[in-house]
Every structure is written in structure tokens, then in C-alpha cells.
Amino acid sequence: MPWKLTWSCYAGGHIACGVCDSCRLRLAAFAELGLADPIAYAR
């Protein structure tokens, strides 16, 4: 899966904010799969 291409942070910065709904849904999905998210987060 091209995870890096699926990132759609509402903040729209160079890196994902890690706190908006989009980021949290993404992080929750990775946690559920037991995977590490390859992209960087602001926090």
C-alpha cells in the first residue's frame, strides 16, 4: 500500500500535524494493523 500517498493532513504542511481528524484516523488505522507509520509527524 502506498501509505505516503494516502496522507491527507488537514493542516496541509510539509509534515502531518498528528492531531487533526485525518491524522488521528490514519494513526488509529496503523495502530490497529500493528504497523509503524513511515511518515513524520509534528508531534
Binding site for Zn ion (CB under 5 A): 9, 11, 16-17, 20, 23
Q: Which is nearer to Zn ion, 1 or 14 (CB)?
A: 14
- Rounded to whole angstroms, the Cα distance separating 1 from 11 reads 23
Instruction: Give φ, ψ of 41 to 5 degrees.
Output: -125, 150
CB of 43 to Zn ion, least distance (A): 10
Alpha-carbon separation of residue 17 from 2, 7, 12 (angstroms): 19, 11, 8
CB of 30 to Zn ion, least distance (A): 14
CB of 4 to Zn ion, least distance (A): 14
